[in-house]
């Protein structure tokens, strides 16, 4: 079997961007190759055209191109032509694409199309309670309706997406994203920097970062030596029009809290694990995710996580057993949970150990890839 993925991001030095979607695709692609499946990845909106090989995966970089009119349409047609050429040349059996922006809308691909719910713009707009551009909705719906089947990383994401676009639920299969767990080992979970709080993700309103600023203010009142480390690119704020969401966070921090914040911006993915291992507690107070790769990465490294309690998160964490679930708007309880962990090392180690067990049983890519393969085969019958 030969599977191909269409994506705008992938973890490779020559690819211009890589985030959660990229990590989940690479984890799956590399493991599929190890299982004997051929894998190609088409990465669009790149600086140059190129074909690369990495860990057995063939990566096709497709340069971004502008046209005098209707760039959104003609660029899709350019992608279609190139991908169809490779489908025929390399005997690709199945194509998988993300739902975000409906990149496969108006494409006629010469292989069955599966769309994985990494999170459409419509999905995030619904969770974030804001209006979506009509054009984006049309593109996403057209792309989804042309697919043969769908994969959801959580049942919650599948149900919400089905409601938004009126999809046939029988065509949706829940398959959790997975980790290559042999690459996530923490030999000394009892060793960390005391009272350090870590957040990883884009600095954007929907991730609950403005609430995190308020939570940190509360924590500082009780534990004034607490440090907050933020990792991730800054983004503009759609609600206020501000060019920097981090600037909005700075306006919320008290002077004492602000002095204890380290904002590192984007850092190489290879360095993220070190920061997770050094953290006392990891926190992800998001309002909008489909799964949350950094949550399960932190759990795999035996870190206690205080996570959002919304929908998808209940499929990652069992509250009070292998982490804590709190609604981001509940500033008081959120800060209390973090303080509780700061002041109880045995609790931290117990929850961290249970978190690793949860990841081992639910998010092992070697197990989940077999589910993917079996599902792909049902589509090809």
pLDDT digits (tens, 9 = 90+) for 48-89: 999 999 999 999 999 999 999 999 999 999 999 999 999 999
**pLDDT attached to residue 129:** 86
**pLDDT attached to residue 23:** 86
Instruction: Count the helices and strands in the chain (H runs, E runs).
Output: 13, 14
Region 154-172: mean pLDDT is 96
**pLDDT attached to residue 238:** 87
Query: Where are the chain's structural domains?
Result: 2-178+364-380, 182-362
Residue 202 · residue 237 · CB < 8 Å? no
Q: Which residues lie closer than 8 Å to 336 by C-beta, 6 or more apart?
A: none
Region 317-345: mean pLDDT is 97
Region 197-221: mean pLDDT is 97
pLDDT digits (tens, 9 = 90+) for 291-324: 999 999 999 999 999 999 999 999 999 999 999 9
Say whether 182-362 and 2-178+364-380 share the same fold. Answer: yes
Q: Where are the alpha helices (DSSP H) in the chain?
A: 20-34, 71-90, 121-128, 134-145, 155-165, 209-222, 245-252, 255-258, 269-278, 293-300, 331-342, 345-362, 365-380
- pTM, full prediction: 0.90
Q: What is the DSSP letter of 132?
A: P
| CATH 2.60.120.10 assigned to 182-362 | no
Mean pLDDT computed over every residue of the chain:
95
Distances (CA, A) of 107 to 73, 74, 205, 326: 9, 10, 33, 42
**Has residue 275 got a pLDDT over 90?**
yes
Residue with tokens 């309103």: 205
| CATH class given for the domain over 2-178+364-380 | alpha beta
- In DSSP terms, which residues pair with 198 in a beta bridge? 229, 282
DSSP states of 41-87: EEEEEESS-EEEEETTEEEEEEE----SS-HHHHHHHHHHHHHHHHH
**Has residue 131 got a pLDDT over 90?**
no
DSSP states of 342-362: HT-HHHHHHHHHHHHHHHHHH
Region 88-93: mean pLDDT is 97
Which phi and psi angles does 8 have, rounded to 5°? -100, 0
**Has residue 153 got a pLDDT over 80?**
yes
Token pair of 20 as six digits: 């959660």
CA-nearest of 309, 306, 316 to 216 is 306
Residue 326 · residue 337 · CB < 8 Å? yes
pLDDT digits (tens, 9 = 90+) for 3-21: 999 999 998 888 877 777 8
For the beta carbon of residue 183, count every other beta carbon within 10 angstroms: 11
For the beta carbon of residue 182, count every other beta carbon within 10 angstroms: 9
Assign 3-state DSSP to the chain and report helix, strand, coil percentages, each to 5: 45, 20, 35
**pLDDT attached to residue 255:** 96
Rounded to 10 deg, the angle between the 121-128 and 134-145 helix axes is 130
């Amino acid at each position: 079997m030969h599977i191909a993925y269409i994506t705008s991001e992938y973890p490779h030095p020559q690819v211009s961007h890589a985030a959660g979607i990229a990590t989940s695709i690479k984890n799956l692609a590399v493991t599929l190759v190890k299982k004997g499946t051929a894998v190609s990845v088409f990465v669009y909106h790149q600086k140059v055209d190129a074909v690369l090989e990495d860990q057995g995966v063939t990566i096709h970089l497709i340069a971004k191109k502008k046209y005098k009119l209707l760039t959104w349409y003609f660029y899709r047609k350019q992608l279609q032509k190139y991908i169809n050429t490779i489908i025929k040349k390399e005997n690709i059996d199945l194509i998988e694409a993300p739902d975000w922006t409906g990149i496969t809308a108006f494409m006629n691909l010469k292989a069955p199309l599966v769309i994985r719910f990494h999170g459409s713009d419509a999905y995030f707009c619904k969770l974030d309670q804001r209006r979506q551009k009509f054009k984006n909705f049309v593109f996403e719906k057209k792309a989804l309706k042309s697919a043969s089947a769908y994969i959801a990383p959580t049942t919650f994401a599948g149900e919400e997406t089905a409601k938004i676009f009126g999809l046939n639920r029988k065509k949706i299969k829940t398959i959790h994203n997975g980790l290559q767990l042999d690459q996530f080992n923490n030999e000394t979970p009892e060793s960390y920097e005391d009272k350090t709080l870590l957040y990883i993700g884009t600095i954007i309103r929907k991730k609950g970062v403005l609430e995190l600023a308020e939570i940190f203010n509360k924590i500082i009142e009780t534990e004034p030596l607490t440090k907050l480390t933020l990792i991730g690119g800054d983004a503009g704020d759609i609600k206020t029009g501000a060019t920097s969401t981090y600037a909005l966070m700075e306006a919320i921090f008290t002077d004492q809290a602000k002095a204890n914040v380290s904002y590192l911006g984007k850092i190489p993915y290879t360095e993220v694990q070190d920061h997770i291992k050094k953290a006392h507690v990891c926190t992800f107070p998001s309002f909008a995710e489909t799964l949350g790769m950094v949550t399960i990465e932190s759990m795999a490294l035996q870190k206690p996580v205080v996570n959002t309690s919304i929908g998808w998160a209940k499929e990652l964490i069992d509250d009070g057993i292998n982490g804590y679930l709190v609604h981001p708007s509940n500033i008081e309880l959120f800060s209390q949970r973090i303080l509780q962990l700061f002041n109880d090392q045995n609790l931290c180690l117990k929850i961290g150990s249970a978190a690793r067990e949860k990841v081992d049983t639910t998010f092992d890519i070697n197990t989940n890839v077999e589910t993917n393969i079996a599902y792909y085969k049902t589509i090809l019958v």
